[in-house]
Amino acid sequence: MSFLFILLILCSSKIFSQDISIDTNFNNLIRKNSSGWVAADATYSILLPDNRTLWLFGDTFIGETNNEGGIKSGSTMIRNSAIIMDGDSLRSLYNGTFENPIDFIPTDNPDLTWYWPEHGTVENDLLIIFLAKFTTDPEAPPGWNFKYVGQDVAYFSYPEIEFIEIKELPFYAKNGVMYGPRIMNKNEFTYIYGRKEEDLNGFKLPYPHVARIKNGSKNEWEFFDGEGWLSSPESTAPMIDFPVSQQFGVFKHLNKYILITQDIWLSPKIYSFTSESPVGPWENKKLLYTTPILFENSFTYNAYPHPQFNENNELLLSYNTNGDFWDIFTNVELYRPNFIRIPYELIDDDFKINSSTKIEQNSCKVYPNPVKDSFTLLFYHSESDAAKFTLNYLNGSIAKTFLFDNLSPGNQIKNLDINELSSGIYIGVLSTKSNIKTLKIIK
């Protein structure tokens, strides 16, 4: 681990609230230099059905680091890459070779046009990734000489993640919305979030929009017009009167939806909003965190949530750092994501677990119960070992299984999603090496 990264950990711990912490595990994992990935930005994550996570990045350095915390000579920058994470195992995904790498999702002429990947989803045997398409802009200042020109969608086979094809997404020309920052599957719909720049008194401000597709339909999009859903792309309207960053996220936790965005204009401030529905109204605005600026002429941007890694009622969140391009070669930390943990109770009081509720040895509790789409499982684990929690139908067959690996002894808080299960009564069974506990759960 480099001296600068150690300094980042020590300095940051003095800046933010005691309730927010750096996730050193994820920071170390992403710095493994796995199969050539050295540094990148964007930092989207897609939870795959087999519990692997696909990380997607924009501009990426493929190569090696040196002992001084810089990038070794001979490393190459490509326009996008991916990392497949399976537990603590990471493998970089890009085309070409280590010595001559090519974009994970290439274009015919990458010097002229390229893709920066955004979020995606898996439908049956297809992995679908939304792509923002850019080209060079000679009129823009150095470092910012690029402009958005449209949007495509890439299709890969699943679970192999082998490229199939790219198709154009036609809506940008019709409504100006750049779809893809977040794709969320909930109940009978898939929600596709996007952003659209509005020109207000000479300033272009991006506001969040959303469309949806009914699961199982033939790609028939509907667009939220501020009150309901219409089939016309031109009917789209902002969800909230608050500008969002290029990379904002929406997801559901327990009984509410959460919107996370970093303030625009490269501000270090990260905000959250909550709502009872996936389209708003978005309320309860909270300033969650102000990122530390640790390097001269650097900035942070594009904070993003990764709720598949919820632990102890805390949200995993990443943000990107950047600065002078040439400084990256001597300080690789200038271009690597950082991960923090934010307690959910800081986002909304409804997420606070009653501190008077003691988790006694060999006990197991669920909050809330009855459940809507997700719940928190609380239990005490006395061993350094794995545990398993199953939801069973009343006839004894298993409806869903959750595996918890590498647990440390002590209180455990796990946020579990059962969105796809039907309403009814289930029997929860918590199994450890030495105990089995059961409880009734009502959805």
Give mean pLDDT, residues 192-216. 90
263-299 b/e (C-beta count within 10 Å ≥ 16 → b): bbeeebebbbbbbeebbbebeeeeebbebbebbeebe
The C-alpha atoms of residue 305 and residue 44 are separated, in whole angstroms, by 9
| Strands across the sheet containing 60-62 | 37-40, 60-62, 76-78
Q: Is the pLDDT of residue 6 over 60?
A: no
CATH code of the domain in which 157 resides: 2.115.10.20
| pLDDT tens sequence across 232-286 | 999 999 999 999 999 999 999 888 999 999 999 889 999 999 999 999 999 999 9
| pLDDT tens sequence across 336-362 | 999 999 999 999 988 887 544 445 555
Q: Which of 327, 351, 375 is the last residue of a domain?
A: 351
Residue 406 amino acid letter: N
Q: What is the pLDDT of residue 218?
A: 72
**Largest Cα–Cα distance of the chain, in whole Å?**
68
Q: What is the pLDDT of residue 5?
A: 47
State whether 336 and 377 are in the same domain: no
**pTM of the full structure:** 0.81
Give mean pLDDT, residues 159-167. 97
State whether 108 and 77 are in the same domain: yes
Q: Is the pLDDT of residue 13 over 60?
A: no
Q: What is the pLDDT of residue 165?
A: 97
State whether 347 and 373 are in the same domain: no
Note whether residue 337 is domain-resident.
Answer: yes
CA 311 vs CA 138, 250, 336: distances in Å: 46, 18, 23
State whether 255 and 373 are in the same domain: no
Share of the chain above pLDDT 90, in %: 64
Angle at 98 between CA 103 and CA 136, to 5 degrees: 30
Structural domain boundaries enclosing 433:
364-442
State whether 295 and 433 are in the same domain: no
Q: What is the pLDDT of residue 255?
A: 83
State whether 336 and 408 are in the same domain: no
Q: What is the pLDDT of residue 4?
A: 45
Note whether residue 357 is domain-resident.
Answer: no
CATH code of the domain in which 430 resides: 2.60.40.3080
